[in-house]
A and B are shown apart, each in its own frame.
Chain A
Amino acid sequence: MSDLFIIGLSGAYLGLLFLLAYWGEYRAKQGKSLVNNPYVYTLTLTVYCTAWTYYGSVGRATREGIDFLTIFLGPTLVIPFWWLLMRKIIRICRFKHITTIADFISSRYGQSSSLAGVVALVSLLGVMPYIALQLKAISLSFGRITSQSNFEPTHMMEDSTFLIMWVLVIFTILFGTQKVETTERHEGLMVAIAFESIIKLVAFLSIGVFVTFFVFDGVEDLFSQTQTSPQLVSQYTLSDASQVSEWFFMTVLSMLAFLFLPRQFQVSAIENVSLKHLDTAFWLFPLYLFLFNLFVLPIAFGGHILLSEQGIEADMYVLALPLAEGQQLLAAFVYLGGFSAATSMIIVSTIALSVMLSNNLIMPILVSVPILKRRYTTHLGQFLLFIRRLSIILILHLAYFYYSVVSVQTSLVSIGLISFVGIAQFAPSIIGGVYWRYGNKTGALWGLLSGFLIWFYTLVLPTLPVIERISPDFVERGLWGMYWLKPYALFGLDALDPISQAVFWSLLVNVLVYLGGSTYFVQSSKERNQAEIFVNIQQYYTTDISTITWKGTAYLQDLKMLLINFLGKVRTQEALQKFSEIYGKDWQKKPQADAYLISYTERLLSGTIGVAAARTLIASVVKEEEEIRIQEVVSILKESQELISLNKELQEKTKALEKTSLELQKANLQLTKNDDQKNEFISTVTHEMRTPITSIRAFSEILFDNHDLEVDEKQQFLTTIIKETNRMERLINQVLELERFESGTRKLHLTLLDINEVIQEALESMLQVFHEKNLCLRLGLVENILPIYADKDQLLQVILNLISNATKFAKHKITVATKMDDEHICISVADDGPGIKPELHELIFEKFYQAEDQNIRKPKGSGLGLAICKKIVQYHQGHIWVESQEGGYSKFIFRIPFRTYLKK
């Protein structure tokens, strides 16, 4: 195909991109953004698929089989985590007006300008080979399609790659540096990138379908033909252990690259319009990758079968196949697909790098050198744009230089992987910074530097021509013959391929240094402040917590001048108008700005010149009181002391409240219990009274209705009526007695008395019962017992009750005894009856309680006797209890202190 046609086609395609970009910008100005669409957002993410994917994957698949897939499986596998992480990162970027990955890392670690500079430099060096790779792909494809693959230009102006590079410079400058504020999205550019994503996918699918179904007779036919080639048969599987480990490391590497490549950061976070768009990318992006890779193996194997003998390099099978089959138009379309893949990557990466270079490397130096700052102070905004445009030219020229000197000797895949490992060094400081609040600047900086150093030593240095002169056998024998410093087998690790071992060592050292540095060194207050915001961004996203960063004052005029210098008068006016809408207009009345306005200005500047430079500029106009004065310390201590004292007081009050609450709970429980007891008492008394009343009524009715009853019968009925009446009277008396005790109205008539005499009196009244029941009485009374001060009738009632109970249950004998010690006198009544279960020992002293087990103790009486006994003994400040063995004996004992009464 003629080179003029291809140059014309490339030019026309770039012209179309210009038009699309203009249209995108125009729509955005009309308020009809094309980028505010989840599908467009996902398509811009596919800037991940570069010329490496387009051409290099086929080359790698031919050499190593399915291994090439790891680069695309990684992003698919990590996409759920990407979704989670990106939600945080996007919020942080919006909140802090962050526009680059360097800004992001430096902002997290105390807005350190040195860290921002290092990240920018690492990005530049890491991405440079990648841009060179794209240029190489353009050059190779141009050479292949114009059949000039062996043409070597003698001058740069003869090199089509150089000319295309300049067209890209113009395109990027036109659409990437329109505004000085980088927080504003590049709407036109993103529309062009999304369009290119469609073109490269459709083109690749077209060649895939063509090779599989038109050149060959379907997948089965293609694979059956591969069986004649031993090289292709060996690609059916992962053959050895090193390939297995490579598979794993490549997957991890591509995950990190997808997360942290500057161009991915640019399209994923900075250009994102809505968090909702992440949801569509969640599944659509992996689907795009899947479709892109579906025909890689058929193209690779088909190319090998048909073209390997012609000496065409595998990276170019995509183009060579349609050309070999005479499909010129298809070849041109496929060329455009590869061109799209390369240019989209170059444009986005160059913009991201140029912002980093200007904001994180050049501006911090400019604003911190007074002479430079004074010189450019009135037109800093214009100067910044100039720097950015210059950076774009510089980056693309450096990439062209790398391409001409280094990458011509290296395969597409190798260059891409070298870049991936370099960029993966950001992983510890970003993931740690977002999820671990204790990560600090020292850890991040030294971790990054050490990882980067290993990357440079193991992967970049061996590719540089200069190393040949310093150490000719550098790769085989290590630096100056030190075998443990062999770049592809560092520290003697030769079990892994060069890329895997570089990933392993660089990330291991990076992570360890990051963790060690963060643990050993202390965070500054600024770092702590930032860490809190980054880790808990969900909490701060809607607040204006950034004000806590600044402590001090600044003149309003100084801040205004800063903004005008960078944003221009109109934009400054708009920004301050917006500030008034949020915080009111009071700030305009004072000559000095408060912390809110200072922070607002800083954030506006951060979006334009980067976090670190903004910080330096603001610091130059704000009189910040960094050092704490003695009075402040005293004041803080005083406040702390007051707080401690207040806290203590509060704690005591809380305890007192808790105690009162507990008492109230107890009282409430007691009241409930009392209420229950009252109800139970009424119910029992009613029940007890109903029995005699029923008897009385029944017998009275018989007597009333039957006048002709015999005298004996009448006598018998009347006796029963009288007996039941007595029983009822007794019950009522007992209830009243108990009530008097419980209400505290019962009075004791205390006299000095001999307890033995009281016992004798009680026994005498019970002698008849003993006789009737043929019970043997045993006495164990202490002689010369001391007299006690007590109510004789009450004590007599207690003893009588106990003896009466004993007679009801005794089989043969009853023992009554007294005992005395220094303080008490004890009276016991024992019987040899069936005994009482241990669990009833307390209950039998309750009102109306009667043993449930009728076989052991049959209920006789009202059930109030023992309850009254207990009350009487308690009134005498004594205690009553029972000792019993089930099936053996029961012994009721009560003890009364006589000394207390003697004193009285």
Chain B
Amino acid sequence: MGKQTISRKINGRKILLLVFCFILLFNYPILGIFNKPSLFLLGIPLLYVYVFGLWLLVIVGLFYLSRTPKGRLK
């Protein structure tokens, strides 16, 4: 684990790609798909569910990158 784990899986170019993907997912036009005032999920506006749900997924992904020996990006 530790520093070397991430280093083994990910390099500079892939990191920039990852950041770019994150920005893309959290911005328009993707965000526009969920930006519907009348849509709710479990009583919560869809936009909120999308943003918080995706945020949690990103954290899980980051955790996976720093810990798991499998599924390496590199």
* B71 at the A interface (CB under 8 A): no
CB contact between A84 and one of B15, B23, B37, B43 (< 8 Å): that residue = B15
Residues from chain A with a CB closer than 8 A to the CB of B45 are 223, 236-237
| Contacting pair A79 B28 (CB below 8 A) | no
Q: How far is the CA of A888 from the CA of B56 in the complex (A)?
A: 85
| Contacting pair B51 A66 (CB below 8 A) | yes
| Contacting pair A80 B59 (CB below 8 A) | no
Residues from chain B with a CB closer than 8 A to the CB of A79 are 62
Residues from chain B with a CB closer than 8 A to the CB of A275 are 3
Query: Which of A244-252, A492-500, A693-701 sits within the interface?
Result: A244-252
Contact digits for A336-363, partner B, Cβ 8 Å, 1 yes 0 no? 0000000000000000000000000000
Residues from chain A with a CB closer than 8 A to the CB of B44 are 219-220, 223
| Contacting pair B28 A290 (CB below 8 A) | no
Residues from chain A with a CB closer than 8 A to the CB of B2 are 276, 279
| Contacting pair A251 B23 (CB below 8 A) | yes
| Contacting pair A80 B19 (CB below 8 A) | yes
Q: How far is the CA of A251 from the CA of B31 in the complex (A)?
A: 13
Residues from chain B with a CB closer than 8 A to the CB of A381 are none
* A166 at the B interface (CB under 8 A): no
CB contact between A66 and one of B1, B48, B59, B62 (< 8 Å): that residue = B48
Residues from chain A with a CB closer than 8 A to the CB of B10 are 80
| Contacting pair B62 A283 (CB below 8 A) | yes
Q: How far is the CA of A441 from the CA of B2 in the complex (A)?
A: 37
Q: How far is the CA of A834 from the CA of B45 in the complex (A)?
A: 91
| Contacting pair B31 A219 (CB below 8 A) | no
Q: How far is the CA of A287 from the CA of B63 in the complex (A)?
A: 10
* A122 at the B interface (CB under 8 A): no
Query: Which of A70-78, A97-105, A148-156 sits within the interface?
Result: A70-78
CB contact between A297 and one of B22, B48, B55, B58 (< 8 Å): that residue = B48
Q: How far is the CA of A582 from the CA of B23 in the complex (A)?
A: 47
Residues from chain A with a CB closer than 8 A to the CB of B51 are 66, 69, 73
* A541 at the B interface (CB under 8 A): no
In chain B, what residue has the closest Cβ to A281? B66
CB contact between B42 and one of A219, A247, A278, A290 (< 8 Å): that residue = A219
Interface residues of A in 198-250 (CB under 8 A from B): 219-221, 223-224, 233, 236-238, 244, 247-248
* A433 at the B interface (CB under 8 A): no
When A83-B15, A290-B56 are in contact, do A279 and B3 touch as well, CB less than 8 Å?
Answer: yes
Q: How far is the CA of A581 from the CA of B37 in the complex (A)?
A: 70
Residues from chain A with a CB closer than 8 A to the CB of B56 are 290
* A646 at the B interface (CB under 8 A): no
CB contact between B47 and one of A78, A220, A238, A279 (< 8 Å): that residue = A238
| Contacting pair A287 B15 (CB below 8 A) | no
Distance in angstroms from B64 CB to nearest chain A CB is 8
Distance in angstroms from A231 CB to nearest chain B CB is 13
Q: How far is the CA of A253 from the CA of B26 in the complex (A)?
A: 14
| Contacting pair A236 B37 (CB below 8 A) | yes
Contact count band on B: 35 or more
Residues from chain A with a CB closer than 8 A to the CB of B15 are 80-81, 83-84
| Contacting pair B37 A233 (CB below 8 A) | yes
| Contacting pair A244 B47 (CB below 8 A) | no
* A643 at the B interface (CB under 8 A): no
Contact count band on A: 35 or more
Q: How far is the CA of A84 from the CA of B51 in the complex (A)?
A: 25
| Contacting pair A282 B65 (CB below 8 A) | yes
Residues from chain B with a CB closer than 8 A to the CB of A287 are 59, 63
Distance in angstroms from A351 CB to nearest chain B CB is 27
| Contacting pair B27 A247 (CB below 8 A) | yes
Q: How far is the CA of A295 from the CA of B15 in the complex (A)?
A: 30
| Contacting pair A286 B6 (CB below 8 A) | no
Q: How far is the CA of A83 from the CA of B22 in the complex (A)?
A: 15
Residues from chain B with a CB closer than 8 A to the CB of A297 are 48
* A709 at the B interface (CB under 8 A): no
| Contacting pair B19 A81 (CB below 8 A) | yes
Residues from chain B with a CB closer than 8 A to the CB of A251 are 23, 26-27
Interface centre among A221, A223, A280, A282 (most CB of B within 10 A): A282
| Contacting pair B28 A237 (CB below 8 A) | no
Q: How far is the CA of A311 from the CA of B55 in the complex (A)?
A: 34
| Contacting pair B27 A279 (CB below 8 A) | no
When A76-B55, A280-B66 are in contact, do A66 and B47 touch as well, CB less than 8 Å?
Answer: yes
Distance in angstroms from B27 CB to nearest chain A CB is 6
Q: How far is the CA of A83 from the CA of B63 in the complex (A)?
A: 13
| Contacting pair B23 A77 (CB below 8 A) | yes
Q: How far is the CA of A220 from the CA of B42 in the complex (A)?
A: 7
| Contacting pair A282 B27 (CB below 8 A) | no
CB contact between B59 and one of A237, A279, A283 (< 8 Å): that residue = A283
Q: How far is the CA of A818 from the CA of B19 in the complex (A)?
A: 86
| Contacting pair B66 A283 (CB below 8 A) | yes
Distance in angstroms from A129 CB to nearest chain B CB is 27
Q: How far is the CA of A236 from the CA of B36 in the complex (A)?
A: 8
When A80-B19, A84-B12, A237-B36 are in contact, do A290 and B47 touch as well, CB less than 8 Å?
Answer: no
* A294 at the B interface (CB under 8 A): yes
Contact digits for B51-74, partner A, Cβ 8 Å, 1 yes 0 no? 110011011001101100000000
Q: How far is the CA of A76 from the CA of B42 in the complex (A)?
A: 26
Q: How far is the CA of A278 from the CA of B51 in the complex (A)?
A: 25
When A66-B48, A80-B19, A236-B47 are in contact, do A248 and B40 touch as well, CB less than 8 Å?
Answer: no
| Contacting pair A279 B1 (CB below 8 A) | yes
Distance in angstroms from A73 CB to nearest chain B CB is 6
Interface centre among B28, B36, B42, B48 (most CB of A within 10 A): B48
Contact digits for A529-561, partner B, Cβ 8 Å, 1 yes 0 no? 000000000000000000000000000000000
| Contacting pair A279 B55 (CB below 8 A) | no
Residues from chain B with a CB closer than 8 A to the CB of A77 are 19, 22-23, 26, 58
| Contacting pair B43 A290 (CB below 8 A) | no
Residues from chain A with a CB closer than 8 A to the CB of B1 are 279
Distance in angstroms from A106 CB to nearest chain B CB is 26
When A237-B35, A275-B3, A297-B48 are in contact, do A290 and B22 touch as well, CB less than 8 Å?
Answer: no
Residues from chain A with a CB closer than 8 A to the CB of B3 are 275-276, 278-279
Residues from chain B with a CB closer than 8 A to the CB of A83 are 6, 15
- 19 more CB-based (< 8 A) A-B contacts, given A77-B19, A78-B19, A237-B45: A73-B26, A73-B51, A76-B59, A80-B10, A81-B16, A84-B15, A236-B37, A237-B35, A244-B31, A247-B27, A247-B28, A251-B26, A279-B6, A283-B63, A286-B59, A286-B62, A290-B55, A290-B59, A294-B52
Task: List residues of chain A with CB under 8 Å of any chain B CB.
Answer: 66, 69, 73, 76-81, 83-84, 219-221, 223-224, 233, 236-238, 244, 247-248, 251, 275-276, 278-280, 282-283, 286-287, 290, 294, 297
Question: Can you list 29 A-B contacts (CB < 8 A)?
Answer: A76-B58, A76-B59, A77-B22, A77-B58, A79-B62, A80-B10, A80-B19, A219-B43, A219-B44, A221-B43, A223-B44, A236-B48, A238-B31, A244-B28, A247-B27, A248-B27, A248-B28, A251-B27, A275-B3, A279-B1, A279-B2, A279-B3, A279-B5, A282-B6, A282-B66, A283-B59, A286-B58, A287-B59, A297-B48
The 9 closest A-B pairs by CB, nearest first: A220-B43, A236-B45, A283-B62, A77-B22, A283-B63, A276-B2, A80-B15, A276-B3, A237-B35
